[in-house]
Amino acid sequence: MGLAWMGVYQPWWPSTLVFLLNAFNIVDGGIDPRIYILVGNMLLPLLFITWFMGATEMLFRKKRWLIVGIYAAITILMDIIIIYFIIVDYTFLAEISVVNADYNLLMMIYLLFLAGSISGTGILMGRESLLGEDPKLKAKGRFLISASVFYVFLALLDLGLVDSIPAILFITRSIMMVSSILFYFGFFLPKPLEKAFIKQ
């Protein structure tokens, strides 16, 4: 799940990349919109195959390959569509500003579907962890549920309100960082936190 955790925020990689390139004076302004869209989307099939391979170790084991196959098919099909429109006319997919993408309806539905899938399975894995007796496992479950709720809520904000409320961009990205840390604790609980929860 470690690889999947790193990829959960792939749709936000391009804005981070642009920020770093500008911070180090490598570019002045934005990058090619086609590169922006590719960086934010092309590895999603690998992410979801990895994520659901891990998630189905705990959930829906009997339907593991069906679930993995469905998500692999959806994300690979969307990659093909994305590549096609990047070649033909990338504006069908999104309008790109310096550090943000205004995705069209198809892409918004796709990304919200993925965010909901990540969040839903994260909550289910967290719930399963809470049912156990191991304090460490229960602590991980709490972090997973918290991270998952933050993740889908902020994905909704980021995809739906950034254009109408530009100031919210900084807020959502900051809380996304918190969500990322919570996901990390949900998978790799540090020893100090583990000891704190065990004492409780």
Q: Strands 94-96 and 101-103, how do they pair?
A: antiparallel
Burial of 133 (0-12, 13-18, 19+ CB in 10 A): exposed
Tens digits of residue pLDDT in 47-101: 888 999 988 888 888 999 999 999 999 999 999 999 999 999 999 999 888 777 8
Structure tokens at 66: 């069906």
Unique residue bearing structure tokens 């996304």 = 176
Q: How much is the pTM?
A: 0.85
Least reliable range by pLDDT among 33-37, 123-127, 172-176, 186-190: 172-176
Alpha-carbon gap, residue 19 to 185, rounded angstroms: 26
Q: What 8-state DSSP symbol labels residue 90?
A: G
Q: Residue 160: what pLDDT?
A: 60
Q: What separation, in Å, do the N-terminal and C-terminal C-alpha atoms of the chain show? A: 27
Tens digits of residue pLDDT in 97-138: 877 788 889 999 999 899 899 999 999 999 999 998 888 889
Unique residue bearing structure tokens 């460490």 = 136
Question: Quick one: which of 66, 9, 20, 72 has its CA closest to 45?
Answer: 72
CB of 181 closer than 8 Å to CB of 143: no
Tens digits of residue pLDDT in 132-151: 888 888 999 999 999 999 88
